[in-house]
A and B are shown apart, each in its own frame.
Chain A
Amino acid sequence: MAKRTSEQLLEHCLQEALRTGDIEATLRRYPQVANRLRPLLEVALATNRLYADVPPPPNGLAMGRQRLLDVAARQRELAPATRTSIQNKERKPKMQLLLATRVISAILAVVIGTAAVGGGVTWAASDSLPGDVLYPVKLTGENLRLSLAPAPEQQVELALRFSDERMTEIETLVERGVLVPETVVAGLERHVFWAMNRAAWASEEEMPGLLERIVQRTQAQVQALEQLRAMTQEQNQAQLENALRVCQRAQEEALAGLGDPQAFRSRYQHRDSMPEDVTPPEPPTREPQNGGQGPQDQPGLCPGDCDQDRDRDQNRDQDQDHDQDRDHDQECDQDQNCDRQQDRDQQQDQDQGQNQEQSQQPDEDQGQEQNQEQNQEQNQEQNQERNQEQNQEQNQEQNQEQGQESGQPSDQDQGQPDQGQQPDQDQGQQEDPGQGQQQDPQRGQ
């Protein structure tokens, strides 16, 4: 049996003493601490009796009831529009189906023209639950709202609000005795850690406040989940435990972030932001990679996965560059004109270095991107021209040498220029600027 703290022991004795009303019988079970607990139990029972006497309300609470109904009547007159969504839920299922059809049509229009996002379309779906027709609409609306949040503060607040939404869904499903789908817990996890990621990109002034908000919200979620776990059926225990672990971990991490903001930043701004034993979340919306408008072009569109994708892409590009260098070195070992090739490589490396330096500049505006592209094109053209000149000189030298020896042209030069390789490398570099520009524009540092 685990050792109890004095507070826990008091609580245990209190429960028994309040139930039986017999302090001494309770204390006989704990003779070692009886003297210490007795005065506390006595005053507790005295307080219990004191509180039992409550005089009736002078007006029988009738005035308060009338006041409530009067205020409600005024509010009802002022805001008739708010009745629609709730009352629709209580109407016939046909109405809901009709509404669903209309909403689905509307959401297609919304997806096409995202400027219209934020309207009342998703509002109609806000009460839906997993399995409902409107539930995907609700999730889509949330994702779009996340993508449109302008700054870390709003992003964190929205993500926490949506994590509360998942909590509400879990509570409702548990109360109804329905199995909680894994996707709901995954959604909770996604939103909580997205909030952490966004907080990590906030300014030094903002971050502590955001972390405190995360701590508060996750604490409330932990308490709610603990209560739910105590009352739920066996079928939902596993999901509730998963959700509980997510919230507890987030709470601990946010608390740690308050103590060591730098460590929190470095942890949550990058790909290792997800705890090892938590499944990395899917972003709210995913665009095809490198499809022109990828997630990296929309910093607010997807949670931490964007950063992970960036890091992964950067690593992949670096690996490709290394592979190219390694292959190239092997070729050079076999090549009689390795020295000249190395000279060209050095020249290319210099060009690449220039490009990489440019690519590491923060992406302040599109004008810089255009400048970089222009510079890269110029570098590419210069490299080609330089290689052609070098090849011509090389051919001339070798022809002169061989002409002096045999008077016949040599075939060795035909494979050397390697002009086909260079554009590939440059093209690979053109992808890099996008990688180097992934610093969150919202971060005020």
Chain B
Amino acid sequence: MTDKQTVLERARVYDENALGELYDEYAPLIYAYLYRRVQDARLAEDLTSEVFVRMLQAVQAKQFWHTSFRAWLYRVAHNLVVDHYRKQPPAPMVELDEQLVADQQDPESAVIEQLSRRGLWFAISRLTPEQQEVLALRFGQQLTAREVSQVVGKSVSAVEAIQHRALAALRRILNEGLNDGETNV
């Protein structure tokens, strides 16, 4: 994209090429983010489609994003996830990818060896939506804390605090699971 602003303005008048260009650039990112949030590929793809339809509606309101178009899309995606789980609460256990579990090799340390993907997904699903959002953006989408702050509309220090609490909570849930034998694979 040579001039993102120009493309966005063309999108405002429903220019097919501009809309296609935006979709091709951002849809994979949004899909990956949504998958990390819902752990369901089909649902993530449906929600991705919905994000861009909402973009089409919102793009008519000039400059609907403050900082970046990408950050705004992430925010819409997060809101869709929250809405989805409000209507349909998540199942207590996330889907298990046995192949990924079987592929687990060469862990970083003795503790990480004990962490199964299933147990980790389960632990993540027990975090607050806000904590899940920050972790997915920070570790899934590889955004910096500053970039995450733009998406969630909080300060950098607030994002760092959420991240700290999320990791501590994850650790605690995993330890509890290990002790109870519930999250072991």
Chain A residues packing against B (C-beta within 8 Å): 5-8, 10-11, 14, 18, 21, 23, 39-40, 42-48, 50-51, 53-59, 61, 63-65, 67-69, 71-73, 75-76, 82-83, 86-87, 89-90, 126-127, 164-165, 167-168, 172, 175, 216, 219-221, 223-224, 226-227, 230
For B124, list chain A residues within 8 Å (CB): 47, 50
Q: Which residues of A contact B24 (CB under 8 A)?
A: 65
The answer to whether B58 has its CB under 8 Å from any CB of chain A is no
Question: Contact at A23–B67, with CB atoms within 8 Å?
Answer: no
Shortest distance from the beta carbon of A20 to any chain B beta carbon, whole Å:
11
- Known contacts A61-B45, A221-B66, A223-B150; is A8 also within 8 Å of B160 by CB? yes
Contact call B42/A58, Cβ cutoff below 8 A: yes
Residue B128 lies at the interface, judged by CB distance under 8 Å to chain A = no
Q: Contact between A42 and B13 (Cβ–Cβ < 8 Å)?
A: no
Given contacts A127-B62, A216-B153, A227-B67, 9 further A-B contacts (CB under 8 A): A23-B108, A47-B120, A50-B120, A51-B140, A65-B20, A67-B49, A68-B49, A71-B56, A75-B14
Q: B67: which of A14, A86, A223 is its contact (CB, 8 Å)?
A: A223
23 contacts between A and B (CB under 8 A): A7-B161, A8-B160, A10-B164, A39-B111, A42-B111, A43-B170, A45-B112, A47-B139, A47-B167, A51-B139, A51-B140, A54-B36, A64-B45, A64-B52, A65-B27, A67-B52, A68-B56, A71-B53, A72-B14, A83-B14, A219-B153, A220-B66, A223-B150
Interface pair B36/A51, CB less than 8 Å apart: yes
Contact of A86 with B160 in the complex, beta carbons under 8 Å: no
Residue numbers in B under 8 Å from A50 (CB-CB): 117, 120-121, 124
Closest B residue to A23 by CB, please name it. B108
Contact of A82 among B13, B49, B120 (CB under 8 A): B13
Report the separation of the CA atoms of residues A376 and B153 in the bound assembly, to the nearest whole angstrom: 58
Q: Which of B4-12, B79-87, B177-185 contacts A (4 or more CB under 8 A)?
A: B4-12
- Distance A83 CA – B24 CA, assembled complex (angstroms): 23
Verify B153–A57 contact, CB threshold 8 A.
no
Separation of A39 and B167 alpha carbons in the complex (Å): 9
Instruction: Tell me, yes or no, whether B35 is within 8 Å of chain A by CB.
Output: yes
| B interface with A by C-beta (< 8 Å) | 5-6, 9-10, 12-14, 16, 19-20, 23-24, 27-28, 31-32, 35-36, 41-42, 44-46, 48-49, 52-53, 56, 60, 62-63, 66-67, 97, 100, 108-109, 111-112, 115, 117, 120-121, 124, 135-136, 139-140, 145-146, 149-150, 153, 155, 157, 160-161, 163-164, 167-168, 170-171, 174
Chain B residues within 8 Å of A7, by CB: 157, 160-161, 163-164
Whether the pair B42, A69 counts as a contact (CB closer than 8 A) is: no
Chain B residues with CB below 8 A from A40, complex form: 164, 167-168, 171
- Contact at B170–A47, with CB atoms within 8 Å? yes
Q: How far is the CB of B136 from chain A (nearest CB, A)?
A: 7
Within the complex, the shortest CB–CB distance from A66 to chain B, in Å, comes to 9
Q: Is the interface of A mostly helix, strand, loop or mixed?
A: helix
Report how far A86 CA is from B12 CA in the complex, Å: 8
Known A55-B41, A64-B27: A44·B167 in contact at CB below 8 Å: yes
Contact B149 A72 (CB under 8 A): no
Residues from chain B with a CB closer than 8 A to the CB of A164 are 63, 66
B9 touches A220 (CB 8 A): no
Partner pick for A51 among B19, B136, B157, CB 8 A cutoff: B136
Given known A-B contacts A54-B32, A175-B5, A221-B66, A42 and B16 have beta carbons under 8 A apart: no
Residue from A57, A71, A86, A224 within 8 A of B31 (CB atoms): A57
On whether the beta carbons of A227 and B167 are closer than 8 Å, the reply is no
> Is the beta-carbon distance between A223 and B56 smaller than 8 angstroms?
no
Tell me whether A72 and B19 are in contact (CB under 8 A): yes
Q: How far is the CA of A219 from the CA of B60 in the complex (A)?
A: 24
**A-side contacts of B56, CB under 8 Å:** 68, 71-72, 75
Q: Is the CB of B163 within 8 A of A11?
A: yes
Task: Indicate which residue in B120, B150, B167, B174 contacts A10 across the interface (CB closer than 8 Å).
Answer: B167
Whether B53 lies near A57 (C-beta < 8 A) is: no
The complex places the Cα of A11 from the Cα of B149 at a distance, in Å, of 13
Could you tell me the distance in whole angstroms from the C-beta of B57 to the nearest C-beta in chain A?
Answer: 8
Within the assembled complex, what's the spacing in Å between the Cα atoms of A87 and B11? Answer: 11
A242 vs B16: C-alpha distance when bound (angstroms):
40
